[in-house]
Structure formats: structure tokens, C-alpha cells
Homo-oligomer: A and B are copies of this chain.
Amino acid sequence: MAATMQDVARLAGVSAKTVSNVVNSHPHVAEATRLKVQAAIDKLGYELNVTARNLRKGRTGLIGLALPELKLPYFAELADSVMVEAEKAGLGVLIEQTNSDRDREIGVLHGQLRLMTDGLIFSPLALGMDDIHMFKVDFPLVLLGERVFGSANDHITMSNVEAAKAATLHLIAAGCRRIALIGAHPGEVVGSAALREQGYRAALQEAGLPVDEQLVRPSEYWHRGTGAAATDELIESGVEFDALFALNDALAMGAMHSLHAHRIDVPGDVSVFGFDDIEDAAYTRPTLSSVSPGRDQIAREAVQILEARVAEAHAPFDQRQPVHRIYADFELVPRESSRRPQVIDGAAGAKTSPAKLAH
């Protein structure tokens, strides 16, 4: 059986509380006592029982992170960033995958695991504006993404409209005139798809270009396979286009796959722009232009806000911070896939000095 503080105390000839004081580097502990206790700890191989401490303190030192799927590179990278930030704050991260499933997303808010955490960072993909009441919970909750607006939760998102507009304008500046959109969610009002499409339309309008609805291609899921399928359909429909703006990088990668299979050259015949700037983007062929969404900033703010909420959970209501609503900065990262045809030089391109387009 593992040793307890009592065991250590007995061996060191002090009280359990003194052992506790040593372990927690309490200020007023005599050096001699500290050494005695430390010796006893080492001898017994004592390890603090964190569960007992948690019970006493009413906190677990863990935060939850609920996201659709770790396999999706964007979320793997987000999880990475969140874990790095959490570690700085001395917190552990309990990850839950929702698979974008409605029931699982609800489960995240009420399940067993939730009870083991002090708070939750949640990136919903299935729950939306209609479910806003579900986010009224009595534990610290920070929402990420674009599914929900106007709830009473802290919320971190990015400037989707502006970012999509900037990406589209970049394609226009490169000479593209018939820019297809891959990954639309028709009928959606909020959500990444709707907002990015909005930015796309705004850019066309600003440039005085018409929107051809045939170029707006829906795709419910944003995976490589669906991106390839949507592009196949677009090509087979016979509609002309000279650029593709994919609403995320996975779609873009699938699209490039499809273009290649149809012997359409990127960027010679068609330029491609993605969204998320996942690490893969620098290694596709050709390298993929994309929008970098400020992942680190999102993770940092999310953890910091959550931490502050956990800390104030036991404070009087009137001392609490107002609800945060944060828009993370973005950057355009142009790479080979969106070069003007005449500028192609075939060189392998890593991230080129990105146009900083701070919000």
C-alpha cells in the first residue's frame, strides 16, 4: 500500500499537517523539520494523493477539451496548443471527441468526465443557435468556433468574414475571375461555412464581380474525401472556373487531388486557397495557400479565461469579469497553389513571408 502523510509524519516524528506544510512549501517550516520530513518522504517513497487534495480543495486541476476529432489536423494542432498553455498554468487536459455528433456534444456538457474537470473548452460542431440554452451551465465554459453567438458564455472565435474576404481578394488580385467555393452549408446563418461564404461574397462584390451560384458548391463534411467529391462534381458539371476557395485545408487537399486526377494544373489552370493553415499545407503538391487562424492565440486566451473563471467560481457574483468575446487575428499565407500562372517557378515553397493582415 502506498504511504500516506500519516505514515510519513509518524516516521519523521511530526504531525501530518507539518508534512502537508512541507509538501506545499508552506513559508513557516523550520529547516531542520523540513529535512527530517523530506528524509521520511524519500525513505517511504511517499507520493501525495492528489484525489484527496482535490476533494479538500474543491478543484481537480483538470480542464476538459471537447472537440470533434483529433484526427483532423486542425484540431490536433489546436489540442497541442491548448495543452501547452494548460501546462503553463499547471493544468491537465482531458480530451473528449464528439465526432460532431449531437448526442455526444450534449454528453460532453453533462457526462461523467465533465465532473472530473474544473471547466471546459468546447468547440461544438453539431449544436448550434437553437441549442443555446444548453450552454447555460453552472461550470466554467469557454466556447470556440462559429456555431453559437450571443450566448452568455465566454467565446473565442476568429474573424471569419474578414479572413475569407482577404483570401478571396488575394485570388482576385492574382487574376482569377471565376472563383468556386467548396464546402458551403446552404441555409446556415452562423457557423464557419456561412461566415466564410459571406466573406467570399463580400470580396466578389467589392471587386465588382458577379456571384455565379453554380460556383458555390456545398459539402456538409469538411474532409479530403468530400472535397474531392465536390470538385469532381464541379468539373463534371462543366461550369468554368479558374480558382477554388476551399473552406478548410482538408477540402482543399481533396480538391487538389481531384484536379490532378482530371489533369487540371494547379496553379497553372486553377488556383487554390485553403483555410486553417495546417502543417500539411506546406507539404502538399503544390504547396497550399491558406489562412492561418491564430490557433496559438485562441488556445492561450481560452485557457487563460477558463482559468480566471475557475478561480472566481467561489467569488461573489459582483466581482466577476464580464463575458469575453474575442476575435483572434489571422494571417494570409500564400504559397504555390495560388501563384499567378506567369509567376510559377516550380520551386518548393515553405511558408513565405505572409502578408500580415491583423484584424
Contact = CB atoms under 8 A, between A and B. Distances in A.
Interface string A251-262: 001101110110
A346 B258 CA distance: 11
A120 to B, nearest CB: 13
Contact of A95 (B49, B55, B95, B283): B95
Interface string A110-146: 0011011000000000000000000000100000000
Contacts of A346: 261, 263
A50 B96 CA distance: 17
A224 interface: yes
A16 interface: no
Interface in A39-72: 45, 47-52, 54-55, 60-62, 69-71
A269 interface: no
A99 to B, nearest CB: 10
Among A61, A257, A260, the one with the most B-chain Cβ atoms within 10 Å of its Cβ is: A257
Interface string A261-294: 1010000000000000001101111000000000
B283 A253 contact: yes
A258 B97 contact: no
Contacts of A77: 70-71
A312 to B, nearest CB: 15
Given A69-B80, A112-B61, A283 B254 contact: yes
A348 interface: yes
A307 to B, nearest CB: 16
A80 B97 contact: yes
Contact of A116 (B45, B62, B71, B280): B62
Interface string A96-113: 110000000000000011
A280 B279 contact: no
Interface string A295-317: 00000000000000000000000
A181 interface: no
Interface of A: 2, 45, 47-52, 54-55, 60-62, 69-71, 73, 76-77, 79-80, 83-84, 90, 92-97, 112-113, 115-116, 138, 224, 228, 253-254, 256-258, 260-261, 263, 279-280, 282-285, 346-348
Closest 7 pairs (CB-CB, A-B) = A261-B348, A76-B76, A50-B115, A51-B54, A224-B283, A51-B55, A92-B113
